[in-house]
Amino acid sequence: MQQTGGGHQDILGALLNDSYKLVMTYSFFQNKMENDQTAFELLFRKCPFGGQYVIFAGLNEVVRYIKNFKFTEEEIEFVKQNILPSDANPKFFEYLRNLDSSQVKIRAMPEGSICFPKEPLISIEGPQGICQLIETAVINLVSFPSLIATNASRMRQLAGSAHLLEFGLRRAQGPDGGMSATQYSFLGGFDGTSNMMAGLRLGIPVSGTIAHSFVTSFSELNDVESAELNGVNIKLRAIEYHKKMGVKTNQGELASFIAYAQSCSNNFLCLVDTYHTLKSGVPNFLAVAFALDDAGIKAKGIRLDSGDLAQLSIQAKEIFKHYGDQFEKDVSHLKVAASNDINEEALIHFNKKGHKIDIFGIGTHLVTCQKQPALGLVYKLVECKNQIVMKLSEEYDKTTFPGQKNVYRVYTRSDQCVDIITSINYLPENNEFKCIDHINKQRYHIKPTFIESLLQPVDYDYVPDLHAAKKHCTKQLKEFNTKVTRLESPQKHLVLMSTEYYQMFQSKYDEIAIEEVIE
Amino acid sequence: MQQTGGGHQDILGALLNDSYKLVMTYSFFQNKMENDQTAFELLFRKCPFGGQYVIFAGLNEVVRYIKNFKFTEEEIEFVKQNILPSDANPKFFEYLRNLDSSQVKIRAMPEGSICFPKEPLISIEGPQGICQLIETAVINLVSFPSLIATNASRMRQLAGSAHLLEFGLRRAQGPDGGMSATQYSFLGGFDGTSNMMAGLRLGIPVSGTIAHSFVTSFSELNDVESAELNGVNIKLRAIEYHKKMGVKTNQGELASFIAYAQSCSNNFLCLVDTYHTLKSGVPNFLAVAFALDDAGIKAKGIRLDSGDLAQLSIQAKEIFKHYGDQFEKDVSHLKVAASNDINEEALIHFNKKGHKIDIFGIGTHLVTCQKQPALGLVYKLVECKNQIVMKLSEEYDKTTFPGQKNVYRVYTRSDQCVDIITSINYLPENNEFKCIDHINKQRYHIKPTFIESLLQPVDYDYVPDLHAAKKHCTKQLKEFNTKVTRLESPQKHLVLMSTEYYQMFQSKYDEIAIEEVIE
């Protein structure tokens, strides 16, 4: 398994944990239950963003965390001094000292999978003590990754063939929130990032150009010295083009573009809104781009960062054409990039206006998942000492699905796709499934032509890395029923229970439900 | 300066940065501008959450980051291979190798201060090269801390005298997002956390009890062995009380409470909603609490985690009283804790219903800042080579305030408080200020009785730590005009420009604005 290197290794210890986990583990220990065999499942109950799917992400990090789980002496001392009673059983600390994940087995969906509410994403089996203790970190390590991968996949759909860059480092929850955002937006469909640390540690393509402060650092043409590229004096040539254009633009901005072109001619994409996008930024850019062209170097384009981005992209390309015609220059390769508070609604609006944007840079709304900033993942006990376990609730939706399970994704001749939750040991007869929708009680008899078993045993030493997960995700999104994955009025994917599982579920429910007395 | 220890040290390097920063630095270097003296300011333009203030947080980490800024050889190699042109000037890499913060001076508001839009929170002065490069990390390190401290301070207001616990680790943006959330919600007014790593690294009080999976791990009374505390057999005594109550409750739940009491009698606070809060959880809790009382041990109380929390808190305390009377037991010390998706609206609703909740555990909506998940901090160049610098924009609100400044917070005899932005070298005559509201052009003559200068030089080796910042924040919130800090219809705090600063602002604006031609 490749180390993902995405940060937080210095704090991802056994104590990155809610304190009740330690309190419970101690109580289990005192009651000689710490080695009881248990099974837990990680799942969510509702899809985010008004959509009907989630991209499962974070598995690689979960496996790494569980594999390396170990208390340090400093952590044990903290628990002794701060969490447990002062007369706590000293044998418990010896137990903590020896605790590891050697007896924990994991089954999981492949990272990057499309998944649905109530389905186990990860199933964890092992002794009560350790399986209880890892809950908080497991939820943490899947929750934000899956949320942002899903968010990114939605933006990917809206952006069509445009290039998508993640620009959110400064808006994330701290440095590590930024690294996670970069990592999992890439998994979900982004093409690159501005975050160089993610380039270094995770091999994600990095790109970037200049900011407003670069432009405002120049106030006149004298602020830039001239340099020759392939025998062409870029500064003088740009000034000539500018003069021929006959426009009045900001001279500091022109100087900054010349300085940029002379140092990074291979990556000349100018931020054009410092003074006035169409009257100053775009003409200044073209003057320098044409000078570069005379030196045989292709400019990349412009970045819009304020105003009506769709409208400006159309107008900017008209200006490209106007001056291209005037100076007999090819401008067809010049790109328009756009940034500034872009979210789903903005992308929909741009599409309606027929924008000419080639590259989107998205920050805030990608990394904060503005529309729904948390995925309500839960980690539930489903078996204890080979007994199935269920938790009721006054809120029916919080009632858990007891027992270890499999999830089958089946495809039929009529091109339908259905997910089926079964007991773990259930094998369909003749590859056919008798199922039920446990809410409306509709019964189904399903005859698939292809069956996938979604939960696969995880080998601690080989879990696909970020790039493999991205590949899996891309393939899934390409092939899945678009009626389910689309953003506008998506259909609910059918998730059924096998009849045998439903019977077990219902009889357990009847066994433990508290009756309401009306008198 | 105390190391805060809040994580992300393994990724907080020079490359945790947007790549355009490196592109710009190289262009400056090629143009011999890397040592130009510059000044930058960190500010925001709009208060979050519909409020009228922000709590400034993150300074300690910013100072530590700047102080330790240094490129590693691995990072320089990455820049060479991935960011700059292949024929980049080799002297630039030598420059990066030697780059540090020794020439950077910082002025800042004290961490924990109440602050307002457009005011510089941090003012950074030094060579162009280094000052440009730190932008992304500085924004990142202040943005989420200030947002969550502000969010926490609002919940603090709504919770009155109740105890506030942060429960958000599992819902944060990764492990480090969790650590930041714990750290800065504590600064903004929370009393403690469930996050043990934050206890260990940051000295934040930690508390926690049990979860549903603890309760569901027990299915019958035989699952728990009996133990004596101070000569009382807790299991048998609890079963006796339970029998006398004459209620039918879940026996596994009762067993779990007995196990918990016997191991952690000093911290007996039961989660009561696993099966039925009022019919099962509360009576089971009381049976065990009374047994503990017989052993001379005070139980702590219950935690509600679903249903109508305000209503249940009232009903639970009625049941406490009912059985307290029946068994002649004092129940006045028993607390009700509540958790489950609590946000500002829920707290307002609870207050209206006259809730009896003593402790709130808040996770998701605290750490994700649901109402507004990002604070739009910006880092703007205001001076370059002793020239003031201004950035215009088609969006007027994005026009920057040029030049280095001071911010004075002045108080008058009539108990008014006003913030005044002045040029850095301005000294008020006779301690009086001539000011203007630069939007509506209203002029003011202010005669303060007390003047605070908010931006103070920062000593790299001594920056107040988290606990000092919390103290400052608490004091500020206690003393500040509640018309500004209140959540319902808050008033805008008056932030004015001194007349001399306004004149400079206006003349710079007139100098660089691009005129619109109408023909």
Contact of A332 with chain B, judged by CB distance below 8 Å, is answered with no
- Predicted confidence at residue B200, as pLDDT, reads 92
Percentage above 70 pLDDT, chain A: 96
**Helix-then-strand count for chain A, H and E:** 18, 22
Contact A175, A195 (CB under 8 A): no
Average pLDDT over residues A504-519: 80
Is residue A254 within 8 A of residue A287, CB to CB? The reply is: yes
Give the pair of three-digit tokens for residue B225. 């062995």
Structure tokens at B166: 């942060």
**CB-CB neighbors (< 8 A) of B17 in chain A:** 169, 195-197
pLDDT tens per residue across span A210-226: 888 899 889 899 999 99
Q: How far is A434 from chain B (nearest CA, A)?
A: 30
Q: Which residue of A has its CA nearest to B8?
A: A8
Residue of A nearest to B92 (CA): A263
Contact between chains at B217 and A389 (C-beta distance less than 8 A) = yes
Does ipTM surpass 0.95 in this model?
no
Q: Where do we find the tokens 């029998």?
A: B243
- CB-nearest to A364 from B275, B374, B391 is B374
Q: Residue B263: enclosing H or E segment and its boundaries?
A: helix B251-263
At residue A176, the pLDDT reads: 84
**What tens digit of pLDDT does each residue of A431-488 get?**
899 999 988 899 999 999 999 999 999 999 988 899 999 999 999 999 999 999 999 9
pLDDT per position as a tens digit, B1-16: 344 555 676 778 899 9
Torsion of CA A132, A137, A140, A142, to 10 degrees: -80
What residues contact residue A161 under an 8 Å CB cut-off, 6+ apart? none
A residues 72..131 contacting B (CB < 8 A): 74-75, 78-79, 82-85, 128
Which residue type is seen at A115?
Answer: C
Q: How far apart are CA A56 and CA B108, in angstroms?
A: 42
Q: Which of residues 190-209 of A touch B (CB under 8 A)?
A: 194-197, 199-201, 206-209
Interface probe for B, chosen from A134, A136, A170 (most Cβ of B below 10 Å), is: A170
Q: How far apart are CA B140 and CA B55, in angstroms?
A: 15
CB contact under 8 A, B210 and A20: yes
The residues of chain B scoring below 50 in pLDDT are: 1-3
Chain A touched by B60 (CB under 8 Å): no
Model confidence band, residue A392 (pLDDT cutoffs 50, 70, 90): confident
Of B361, B251, B249, B367, nearest in space to B302 by CA = B361
Average pLDDT rounded to a whole number, residues A253-274: 94
Cross-strand partners of A359: A163, A337
DSSP per-residue string spanning A427-445: --GGG-EEEE-TTT--EEE
- Asked whether the beta carbons of residue B172 and residue A173 sit closer than 8 angstroms, the reply is yes
**Of A143, A122, A1, A123, whose CA–CA distance to A64 is shortest?**
A1
CA dist B74 → B17, B29, B82, B96, B454 (Å): 15, 21, 12, 12, 40
Contact A144 B173 (CB under 8 A): yes
Q: What is the spatial distance between Cα A6 and Cα A162, in angstroms, rounded to a whole number?
A: 27
Element (H or E) spanning A37, and its range?
strand A37-43
pLDDT per residue as tens digits for the range B67-106: 999 999 999 999 999 999 999 999 999 999 999 999 999 9
Least Cα distance to B367 among B208, B169, B517, B78 occurs for B169
What chain A residue is nearest to B252 in terms of C-alpha separation? A512
Cβ atoms < 10 Å from Cβ of A447: 12
Residue range A111-134: average pLDDT? 97
Helix crossing, B282-294 with B251-263: angle to 10°?
A: 40
Enumerate residues 6+ apart whose C-beta is below 8 A from B518.
none
pLDDT of residue B371: 86
Beta strand ranges found along B94-158 (DSSP E) = 105-108, 114-115, 122-127
Query: What mean pLDDT, rounded, does chain A reach?
Result: 93
Quote the CA–CA distance of B214 and B303 in Å, as a whole number.
14
Which tens digits make up the pLDDT trace of B381-430?
999 998 988 877 666 666 789 999 999 999 999 989 999 999 999 988 88
Among A213, A260, A272, A298, the residue to mutate for chain B (most B Cβ within 10 A): A213
Tell me, what's the pLDDT at B467?
95
Q: Smallest Cα–Cα separation from B121: which of B374, B385, B421?
A: B421
Of B415, B348, B405, B409, residue with least CA distance to B382: B405
Contact between A218 and B128 (Cβ < 8 Å): no
Chain B segment 421-480 residues within 8 A of A by beta carbon are none
Domains in chain B with CATH codes:
19-151+373-512 (3.20.140.10), 209-367 (3.20.20.70)
Q: Which residue of chain B has the CA closest to A219?
A: B389
The pLDDT-based confidence of A393 (bands split at 50, 70, 90) is low
Residues of A in contact with B167 (CB under 8 A): 18
Backbone angles phi, psi at B420, to 5 degrees: -130, 125
Chain B residues within 8 A of A12 when measuring between CB atoms: 175
Contact call for residues A143 and A377 (beta carbons, < 8 A): yes
pLDDT > 90? residue A49: yes
Residue B122: the pLDDT is: 98
Angstrom distance (rounded) from CA B493 to CA B502:
19
pLDDT reported for residue B146: 97
**B494 CA: distance to closest CA in chain A (Å):** 27
- The mean-pLDDT minimum among A70-74, A83-87, A354-358, A387-391 falls in A387-391
Amino acid residing at B93: F
Per-residue pLDDT, A299: 97
CB contacts under 8 A, B 304-323 vs A, are 306-307
Look at strands B122-127 and B37-43 and give their pairing. Answer: antiparallel
Cα A412 to Cα A419: distance, rounded to the nearest angstrom: 12
Of B16, B167, B389, the CB nearest to A216: B389
Task: Please answer yes or no on whether B211 and A391 come within 8 Å at the CB atom.
Answer: no
C-alpha distances out from residue B441 to A353, B410, B429, B435, Å: 38, 20, 22, 10
Q: How far apart are CA B270 and CA B481, in angstroms?
A: 40
Is it the case that residue A3 has pLDDT exceeding 50?
Answer: no
Chain A partners within 8 Å of B25 (Cβ) = none
